[in-house]
């Protein structure tokens, strides 16, 4: 390869990288396409917020729906109903270590949507196992689509959630995620508004 062809090849590489980064951003900006919020949230006894009637992540999911006009699908299991915090964290740890996939109720047709927000609490460093049941069932349904992960947490931020979503949905364009403390969701709606605004909605 002579110097001219090396420069040409480098330019082509730089250009294609710039174009694909641009295309990725455009997908997020496709606010006219149909969006869906898929989430799991646990109401009841929880860390930092006491016994709550509506889960922290559900509050964020509702804000997203209100701000974007997205549809919603809530991943529901009754496996943890009425559990106190300590037994719940022990059960969740065991489920994660065994890779258990708890059942959830109903389902959703993802074919209708271009952008899917996926959110849940951080449980032991990633999403609750029941969300992985959803991911496994729908692993081929989000190819070429945009996924925007979000979490509520008490210190771990996004933890491994974005990486785990990328692994679960090969072929999807997984965007930078958003996280917010669970104990802040009731008073800091503006943080969610700012994030959603930044996505182009």
Ligand X SMILES: Cc1cc2nc3c(=O)[nH]c(=O)nc-3n(C[C@H](O)[C@H](O)[C@H](O)COP(=O)(O)O)c2cc1C
Residues that bind ligand X (CB under 6 A): 41-42, 46-47, 55-58, 88-89, 92, 121-125, 152-156, 182
Q: Cβ of residue 187: shortest distance to ligand X, in angstroms?
A: 13
Q: In terms of CB distance, is 46 or 115 closer to ligand X?
A: 46
CA–CA–CA angle 41, 45, 47 (5° rounding): 85
Query: Residue 82: left if φ>0, alpha if ψ -120 to 50, beta else—which one?
Result: left
Q: Cβ of residue 64: shortest distance to ligand X, in angstroms?
A: 13
Q: In terms of CB distance, is 46 or 146 closer to ligand X?
A: 46
Q: In terms of CB distance, is 57 or 146 closer to ligand X?
A: 57
Query: Cα torsion for 134, 99, 182, 64, to the nearest 10°?
Result: -10
Q: In terms of CB distance, is 56 or 146 closer to ligand X?
A: 56
Contacts of 160 (CB under 8 A, 6+ apart): 125, 126
85-98 vs 129-137: helix crossing angle, rounded to 10: 40
Q: Cβ of residue 121: shortest distance to ligand X, in angstroms?
A: 3
Query: What is the separation, in whole angstroms, between the first and last Cα of the chain?
Result: 47
Q: In terms of CB distance, is 161 or 172 closer to ligand X?
A: 161
Residue 23 buriedness (CB in 10 A; 0-12 / 13-18 / 19+):
exposed
Among residues 3, 92, 87, which one has the least CA distance to residue 45?
Answer: 87
Q: Cβ of residue 142: shortest distance to ligand X, in angstroms?
A: 22
Please check whether residue 104 is in contact with residue 130, taking contact to mean a CB–CB distance below 8 angstroms: yes
Q: Cβ of residue 71: shortest distance to ligand X, in angstroms?
A: 19
Chain residue at closest Cβ approach to ligand X: 182
Q: In terms of CB distance, is 155 or 198 closer to ligand X?
A: 155
């Amino acid at each position: 390869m002579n110097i001219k062809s090396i420069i040409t090849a480098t330019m082509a590489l730089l250009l294609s990288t710039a174009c694909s980064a641009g295309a990725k951003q455009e997908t997020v900006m496709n606010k006219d396409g149909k969006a869906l919020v898929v989430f799991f949230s646990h109401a009841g006894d929880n860390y930092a917020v006491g016994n709550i009637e509506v889960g922290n992540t559900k509050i964020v999911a509702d804000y997203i729906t209100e701000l974007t006009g997205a549809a919603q699908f809530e991943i529901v299991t009754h496996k943890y109903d009425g559990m106190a915090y300590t037994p719940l964290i022990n059960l969740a740890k065991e489920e994660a270590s065994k890779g258990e996939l708890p059942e959830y109720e109903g389902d959703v047709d993802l074919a209708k949507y271009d952008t899917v927000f996926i959110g849940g609490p951080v449980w032991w460093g990633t999403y609750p196992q029941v969300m992985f049941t959803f991911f496994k069932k729908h692993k081929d349904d989000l190819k070429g689509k945009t996924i925007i992960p979000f979490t509520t947490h008490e210190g771990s931020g996004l933890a491994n959630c974005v990486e785990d979503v990328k692994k679960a949905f090969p072929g999807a364009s997984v965007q930078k995620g958003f996280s917010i403390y669970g104990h802040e969701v009731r008073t800091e709606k503006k943080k969610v508004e700012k994030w959603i605004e930044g996505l182009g909605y």
